[in-house]
Chains A and B, each alone.
Chain A
Amino acid sequence: MYQYDTYDKAIVQARVDEFRDQVARRISGELTEDQFKPLRLMNGLYLQLHAYMLRVAIPYGTLSSDQLRVLAGIARDYDKNYGHITTRQNIQFNWIKLVDMADILQRLADVEMHAIQTSGNCIRNVTSDPFAGATAEEIEDPRVWCEIIRQWSTFHPEFSFLPRKFKIAVNAGATDRAAVQVHDIGLQLHRNDAGEVGFRVLVGGGLGRTPYIGEVIREFLPKEQLLSYLEAILRVYNVHGRRDNMYKARIKILVNAMGREAFAKAVEEEWERFRKVSPGGSIDLPEEERARIAAFFKGPELRGDAGGAQKLEADIASDASFAAWVKHNVYPHKVDSHAIATISLKKPGLPPGDITDTQMEAVADLADRFSQGEIRTTHEQNMVLPHIAKSELYTLWQELEAIGLGTSNAGLISDIIACPGLDYCNLANTRSIPVANRIQERFETVGIAEEIGELKIKISGCINACGHHHVGHIGILGVDKKGEEFYQITLGGAADEKAAIGEVVGRGLSTGQVVDAVEKLVNVYLSIRTEDQERFIDVYRRVGVTPFKEALYDEAA
């Protein structure tokens, strides 16, 4: 993974020193909360219902074991012994005291981490495929470009006070695990007819109050021209994005108002003009610097694993629980002797995406023993160990089981994305975590999660959609009606390469009805699927909303 040089270190250290001064000025009363707010928001520090919340950037979801240990230490020393993995691959701490902030940032800086641009109307942490560098599906490692974007966007002089926040995702394989179609800019690496590698550029995707699937504005952008093209997009947005209404300020609203073609034309014109007039030549990174950064992502030399595949077969045959974990949580590696393992942070009954300090330390140790010291975080709020020899999967799983992280539900009905909701968030209308837990409990009791197969449930506690309900196969949106919590169901959403915004099924359901409703939807699915392999989303796409709607509302009527 990328390692800081003296410049990177100096920049992050300067940020820590700066924030230490700013916090001291706030605590002494020299700065009012109004004056301090924009400063803390530039360092990922939010004021929530009960305390400050700190969002730490995990660039493109890649962590070393040492970094994870530092996150564990922060959870232990400054929080209530846990952290929360977010849908943008970051980690949040929910119980931070202002007086501790500078020390926390220093601990992060010491392991080449920071909280820069994890909030505010700027270019946020770039996200990517959690299997990057380990999957055979990718054309090349997308994290090289993520790191280039990270550097280019850090303290960008022109684009740090945009109309609204700005999120970029990069994916490099046919399977989209980075949700590029629902980002402000989605970059998909692919080959053109000439066999060259470049980016398909999508703009204006997003969830929130007004969900959109991104529009392709350029089918093929030569890789080496990425930064100048991004500058052109951001410049059009900075000049023309709405600033009169924060709910209409995202780039998706601008793209939709201008239309795809007009927006693309404006970008192309600016790109051409900008490349001609820029006094220092193009902003694009020279090949030398790209190669320097790319060298950090060569990946480990994975040793052979003689007899590993046979041992794995035998382990699977001997232990049904392990077999289930392999089936759901293990993914093929580009090196045949190895595998990619998802660590589920969705143990039924616990807040989705939470991980304790001791679990973080244990995962760090397991990463050192089995996964070349590397860990990933996923936008589905899980973790990944990317490089496991097949012969060691069984031991790894047993160790994960021992610390409560062996849950074999990746992609299943209990692998729910949920926002923090009213338990933490001052924007939320309703709670999300308890709903997720009740759904998990229902299907654990019924014991049919296996039979149901892949089913992505996503829950948001308000229309800001942090739980990504729009792109859930089943989406659940919490709304407040005259002081009472209601939940609206959407169906058919997806965040992968077949991204779609879910359709609202009907009127909102009460807290008491929502779990029954999910069970009814599942029963409809099971009754009309044509074969075991036909997933919930496939059935929905085949038959549409009607049978599901009838099941939900006919009985209640």
Chain B
Amino acid sequence: MTKLLKWDQGTLIEGQDEDVPSISPEHDVDLTKSTPDLSGVERVELTFPAFKDGRAFTQAQVLRQLGFEGDIRATGALFLDQYSFALRCGFTSFEVADEADVEGIMESVNRFPAFYQSTAAGRAVWERRAGEKRG
């Protein structure tokens, strides 16, 4: 059995699935080449067939770089410490096992105070350094 976690204002909360226009590209599709028609699409579901298979991280980044602002949902084999990576690539909801350790996931997500990359989830360290210098 699974449940749904949604990223909402800096935290993951359990939510209900909503029936919205969505697409589910396969995990091995190169979205840079086979760009789907995103007009009217509110959710894109991406799959991690195994935790080692990081292709969906690129797929999510590409979607955000294409300007997609809807929900990007992860399904599949993410382990606890990968949620931070997923959020930073632009994922906003997760289909997880019922027994998933949401508290543990949040602890992992909140663990790091800064990252070196500029992503959907925040400014890079170098941008923050520059900001401080300018005051």
Residues of A that sit less than 8 Å from B by CB: 5, 7-8, 10-11, 14-15, 17-18, 21, 35, 38-39, 42, 121, 151-152, 154-162, 235, 238-240, 243, 270, 273-274, 277-280, 283, 285-286, 288-289, 292
Once the chains are docked, how many angstroms separate the CA of A11 from the CA of B125?
10
Instruction: State whether the Cβ of B130 lies closer than 8 Å to any Cβ in chain A.
Output: yes
CB closest chain-B residue, reference A157: B88
Task: State how many residues of chain B have any CB contact under 8 Å with chain A.
Answer: 39
Closest residue of B by beta carbon distance from A238: B58
Verify A239–B85 contact, CB threshold 8 A: no
Closest CB in chain A relative to B97 CB, distance in Å: 13
Q: Are B85 and A152 in contact (CB under 8 A)?
A: no
Q: In angstroms, how far is the closest chain A Cβ from the Cβ of B113?
A: 5
CB neighbours of B128 from chain A (8 A): 7
Provided the pairs A35-B79, A289-B130 are in contact, do residues A283 and B118 lie with their beta carbons within 8 angstroms? yes
Interface of B toward A, CB cutoff 8 Å: 30, 32, 51-55, 57-58, 61, 64-67, 79, 81-82, 84-86, 88-89, 107-108, 111-119, 125-126, 128-130, 133
B133 surroundings in chain A (CB, below 8 A): 288
Chain B residue nearest to A283 in the complex (CB): B118
B51 and A288 contact, CB distance less than 8 A: no
* Cβ contact within 8 Å between A239 and B79: no
A547 to B52, CA, bound (A): 48
> Which residues of the partner chain B approach A15 to less than 8 Å between Cβ atoms?
112
Given contact pairs A155-B115, A157-B88, A283-B118, A5 touches B52 in the complex (Cβ within 8 A)? no
Distance from A122 Cβ to chain B, minimum over Cβ atoms (Å): 9
From B51, B89, B113, name the one whose CB has the most chain A CB atoms within 10 angstroms. B113
Given pairs A18-B108, A151-B125, 12 additional interface contacts (CB within 8 A)? A7-B113, A11-B125, A121-B54, A155-B116, A157-B61, A157-B115, A158-B58, A158-B61, A279-B67, A280-B118, A289-B129, A292-B129
Q: Identify B32's interface contact among A17, A121, A239, A278, CB under 8 A.
A: A239
A161 and B108 form a contact (CB under 8 A):
no
Measured between beta carbons, the chain A residues less than 8 angstroms from B130 are 286, 288-289
Question: What are the 9 tightest A-B residue pairs by CB atom distance, in nearest-first order?
Answer: A161-B54, A157-B88, A289-B126, A151-B116, A7-B125, A157-B85, A10-B113, A277-B65, A158-B57
Instruction: Give every chain B residue within 8 A of A160 (Cβ-Cβ).
Output: 54, 57, 85
Contacts of A235 in B (CB 8 A): 32, 58
User: How many angstroms between the C-alpha atoms of A381 and B32 in the bound complex?
Assistant: 42
Residues of chain B with a CB closer than 8 A to A274's CB? 32, 65
Contact, CB under 8 Å: A7 / B114: yes
